[in-house]
Amino acid sequence: MKPWFLKHDYYLVRHAESTANIQHLIVSDLKLGRESYGLTETGNRQAAQCGQQLSNIINKKLNSDDKKSSEIVTILFSPFLRTKQTAQHIYNALTAKDITVQIHLQEEELLRERWFGDVEQTNSKNYNKIWESDIAFGKHHSMYNCESVQSVLERVLTLIETLEKKHVEKKTTFVLVSHGDTCQIAQTWFSDIEPHKHRFLTPIQNAEIRDLTKIAATAFISSKSKL
């Protein structure tokens, strides 16, 4: 499976600003994050604006003459409260407009946050310990008892492969609402770079949208130019 041969369109969205962000706290434990550390007031505004942006993007595609435009939009979100709330804002924005496609909202545990092990519930500056280890020891390392980069990538690819096989009749736009590291690592596959180099990519910001289909097309052109 190569990213430039996918049938469907994919967008990546990192959750909007959460209370964990402003407390500079690492929260990767689903048992804690499922009910706590939701969006701040600023985060709710960011998520609403993100929804409007996505709505405009999708409307523009639908109003074009592209016969390959999607008939369904499915928003998949990590089960953490901060991603769930972000996804709900996106859903509200999409359903508020007269869009002629089906809109679905669905929780997806494979999009959960990367587990940060020993630095869980510590200051967010400790992310650097994990990221430095990613570069130093590669995609399979689990220093500080963290989840390896490869593990994160494999679960995201499992999801994408499942979506590609399950949705065969109608073209679908999938909006994947997730977390910083999960987003960064997922994008490496679409960018055709090694997953442990995820911090070489521009860090995705709160409520930022990334067009993974466009990123994959750029990577395909780049790969051809190297031949």
**3, 122, 171, 174, 216 from 6: Cα distances, Å:** 6, 39, 11, 12, 9
- Per the annotation, does 40 bind a ligand? no
- Per the annotation, does 16 bind a ligand? yes
- Per the annotation, does 17 bind a ligand? yes
- Per the annotation, does 182 bind a ligand? no
- Per the annotation, does 82 bind a ligand? yes
- Per the annotation, does 19 bind a ligand? yes
Active site residue 113: yes
- Per the annotation, does 207 bind a ligand? no
Yes or no: say if 33 and 113 are a contact pair by the CB < 8 Å rule: yes
Active site residue 15: yes
- Catalytic residue among 113, 147, 179, 198, which? 113
Yes or no: say if 122 and 84 are a contact pair by the CB < 8 Å rule: no
Sheet of strand 72-77, all strands in order from the earlier edge strand to the far edge: 102-107, 72-77, 172-178, 9-14, 209-211
Strands (E), 101-188: 102-107, 172-178
Strand-pair category, 9-14 with 172-178? parallel
- Per the annotation, does 74 bind a ligand? no
- Catalytic residue among 15, 89, 196, 198, which? 15
User: Binding site: which residues?
Assistant: 14-21, 82
Q: Report the catalytic residues.
A: 15, 113
Annotated binding site for substrate: 14-21, 82
